[in-house]
């Protein structure tokens, strides 16, 4: 399980965009987005660096931890 804090998500469309971007690389990934806290929980075979790159490239900057 990976937890990322992702900025710029404001609505269900953003949630879908982030989820789709990840699932393009790992169709079996599960993505749980909490818009209020900007927290995204991801279950995936992808590693953390790949996930950060994918989400950032989708247009949503990830806060470094």
**Chain residues in the site for Cu ion (CB under 5 A):** 10-11, 13-14
Q: What are phi and psi of 4, to 5 degrees?
A: -120, 150
Smallest separation (angstroms) from Cu ion to the CB of 22: 16
Q: Between 35 and 46, name the residue whose CB sits nearer to Cu ion.
A: 35
Smallest distance from the beta carbon of 56 to Cu ion, in angstroms? 16
Q: State the Cα–Cα distance between residues 22 and 31, nearest whole angstrom.
A: 8
Report, in Å, the least distance between residue 35 CB and Cu ion. Answer: 9
Bridge-based pairing state of the strands 62-63 and 2-6: antiparallel
């Amino acid at each position: 399980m990976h937890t990322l804090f992702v900025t710029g998500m404001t609505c269900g469309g953003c949630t879908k965009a982030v989820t789709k971007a990840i699932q393009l690389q790992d169709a079996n990934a599960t993505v749980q987005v909490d818009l209020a806290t900007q927290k995204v929980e991801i279950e995936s075979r992808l590693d953390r660096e790949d996930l950060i790159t994918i989400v950032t490239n989708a247009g949503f900057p990830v806060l470094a931890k």
